Amino acid sequence: MARERPHRMSGLSRMAALALVALSACRAETRDAQPQGWDEEVAIPVAADINPDASIVEVELEARVASLELRPGTRTDVWTYNGGLPGPTLRARKGDTLIVHFVNHLPEPTTLHWHGMRVPAEMDGSLAMQRPIQPGESFDYILPLPDAGTFWYHPHFHSNAQVGNGLYGAIVVEDPSEPDLGDDLVLVLSDMSVREDGSLAPPDEDGWFGDYFGREGQLLLVNGRVRPRVRAREGVPQRWRIINAARSRYQRFSVPGQLLVRIAGDGGLIEHPQAMGEVLLAPGERAEVFLSPRAQDSGPVTVQWQNFDRFHLGSLRAPQDLLVFELTGDAPGAGPMSPPTPLRTIDALDTSGATAQRVELMEMVVDGQTVFAINGSNLPDENPLHARVGETNLWEVTNSTAYDHPFHLHGFFFQVLEVGGRAPTVREWKDTINVPAHQTLRFAVAYDDRPGMWMFHCHILDHAELGMMGSLMLMP
C-alpha cells in the first residue's frame, strides 16, 4: 500500500526547485489564504512519491476491492486503486517522468490507460498494445510528461464495468511557469449504481438496453462523496480541475451566484479565459475553471447536476445535488477577480497538405442485434485507419446516429476546426469532444514520433464496449 502524503516537491533540478519554493512562498504572501479546512470534505489523497530524484515521480498503485461507505449508513464493495474512490491523485510537473508500479488484486484482468496523456504506445494500456494484467500480476508503466494539464487514469479492459465499479483517478501535471490561477481543487465527478442496501448493481444490468443507452448510476459522487461541501472566501480564487469520470453520464452544472471562468480544457490552458454560465462535460472530458468567490447573502448554495438531453428525446430529468458551496465569514481577500489574458499562445496546426481521415459513428445489425460501430465494423481492430509519424491529418467524424456521442482519440491532442458547422471560439487542445446527433466534427491532428496502434472511441463506455471503437495504425 502506497504511503500517501499531501504535497511533494519534484520535477526540476534542486536549484530550480528552490526557486519554485520561493515563488510559491511569495504567491502565498501576495494572496490571501483559503479558509481553514476549505477542501477537507473533498480533498483526494495524493499518491506518495517514493523516489528522491526531483524529476521522477514514482508511485505504487494497487487495484483491489474495498468496502466503502458511499450511501450513508451502508457499505459498498467497490473496485479501487489503493483502497480509495477515486484512486489517489497523481501529481507531477511537466517534464518529470512518472513511474507507476501497478499490481492487480482484482478478481479479473485489467490495464491502466492514461487518458489524454501523450505516452508511448506500449504504455497506453489499450488491448491493441498490451496483454491484460492478470489477477496477481504486476506491470510498471513509465510515462514521460510532456504536457501540463488535468488528465485521468482508468482501465481499458471491460472499461464500462470497471470504471462503473469505481476505477478512476486524477492526474495533475503542473507547469511552474503558469500564472497564479487560484488554489487547486480536483473534482472527479462520477456516478454509481448503488442500491438502497449499499450493494452495487451488476455492471451488465438491463443487458443490451443498458449498453445501448449507456448506464447512469443514480448515486452522484464528487470525489467519491455524496454532496460534500467546498468552502471559500470572498476574493480568494480557486482553480477547479473538473474531470467527468462517469461511465456514461454527461455533467452539467453552474454555481448559483458565482461566475465560472474556464481557463483550461482537456490538454492544459486554453488561449483566452472564457466566462461560462455553466460547465458541461461529456464523459472523459475535463475543464479547469477559475472561481473568484463574490459575496452572496443567501448562505451556502447547492450546486446541482442538470439534465443534458443526449438522446434528443425531450427528456427532462430532475436536477440532483452535487456539492455545497459555502462562503465563510472570513474577511474578503484581495485576490484577482479574473484570470490574466491571454493564458497561453497556441499556434494553429498547419493543415496545408494534410491528408483526410473519415470516421462514421453508426449503428448496424450484427446477428439480429443492433450494435454501435465505426466505419461498418463493431470490432476495434478490423479496419484500422493508417497514418505516418510526422504527418498532419484532417479528421472528419460524422455521427449518423440519433444520439450524441463523445469522441475520444488516444495519445494525441487535436485542434477542433468545427463541430456541427460551428468553429470553436477559443483555441485549445482536445482529446475528447461531444459529437451531436447527425452532426460532423472536423479536427486537425499532427502525429509526433510515437508509432503504434491508437484507439479512438465513444467515451460513453457502454457504447465503446458495444462496438463504437476503432483504431489508428501509426507507422514509423
What is the binding site for ligand C2O (CB under 6 A)?
A: 113, 115, 154, 156, 284, 408, 410, 455, 457, 459
Q: How many residues bind Cu ion (CB under 5 A)?
A: 6
User: Is residue 44 at the binding interface for Cu ion, with CB under 5 A as the rule?
Assistant: no
**Closest to ligand C2O by CB, 112 or 232:** 112
**Closest to ligand C2O by CB, 430 or 457:** 457
- Span 451-470, contacts to Cu ion by CB under 5 A: 458, 460, 463
Rounded to a whole number of angstroms, the minimum distance from the CB of residue 321 to ligand C2O is 26
Spell out, one character per residue from 406 to 435, where the chain touches Cu ion: x when CB under 5 A holds, - when not.
----x-------------------------
Rounded to a whole number of angstroms, the minimum distance from the CB of residue 434 to Cu ion is 10
**Closest to ligand C2O by CB, 44 or 245:** 245
Output the nine-digit C-alpha cell for 377. 465494423
463 touches, from ligand C2O, Cu ion, none (C-beta below 5 to 8 Å by class):
Cu ion
Among 241, 405, 442, 457, binds Cu ion (CB under 5 A): 405
Contact present, 415 and 252 (Cβ < 8 Å): no
**Closest to ligand C2O by CB, 91 or 154:** 154
Buried b (16+ CB within 10 A) or exposed e, 165-176: bbbbbbbbbbeb
Q: Which amino acid is at 6?
A: P
Output the nine-digit C-alpha cell for 415. 485542434
| Cα separations in angstroms, 60 against 152, 385, 405, 433 | 16, 35, 34, 31
Chain length of the chain: 476
Outline where 83-203 has alpha helix (H).
Answer: 159-164
Contact present, 361 and 261 (Cβ < 8 Å): no
Distance CA 342, CA 355 (A): 31
Rounded to a whole number of angstroms, the minimum distance from the CB of residue 120 to Cu ion is 14
455 touches, from Cu ion, ligand C2O, none (C-beta below 5 to 8 Å by class):
ligand C2O
Distance CA 426, CA 406 (A): 19
**Closest to ligand C2O by CB, 76 or 251:** 251
Rounded to a whole number of angstroms, the minimum distance from the CB of residue 128 to ligand C2O is 11
Rounded to a whole number of angstroms, the minimum distance from the CB of residue 159 to ligand C2O is 7
List, in order, residues 6 or more apart from 222 with CB less than 8 Å away.
42, 187, 188, 189, 228, 322, 323
User: Is residue 450 at the binding interface for Cu ion, with CB under 5 A as the rule?
Assistant: no
One-character DSSP codes across 228-274: -EEEE-TT--EEEEEEE--SS--EEE--TT--EEEEEETTEEEEEEE
Torsion of CA 259, 260, 263, 268, to 10 degrees: 160
Rounded to a whole number of angstroms, the minimum distance from the CB of residue 125 to Cu ion is 8
**Closest to ligand C2O by CB, 235 or 284:** 284
Torsion of CA 411, 155, 186, 70, to 10 degrees: 160
Rounded to a whole number of angstroms, the minimum distance from the CB of residue 471 to ligand C2O is 11
284 touches, from ligand C2O, Cu ion, none (C-beta below 5 to 8 Å by class):
ligand C2O
57 touches, from Cu ion, ligand C2O, none (C-beta below 5 to 8 Å by class):
none
In this structure, how many other beta carbons lie within 10 angstroms of the beta carbon of residue 237? 24
**Closest to ligand C2O by CB, 91 or 459:** 459
Query: Which residues make up the interface to Cu ion (CB under 5 A)?
Result: 115, 405, 410, 458, 460, 463
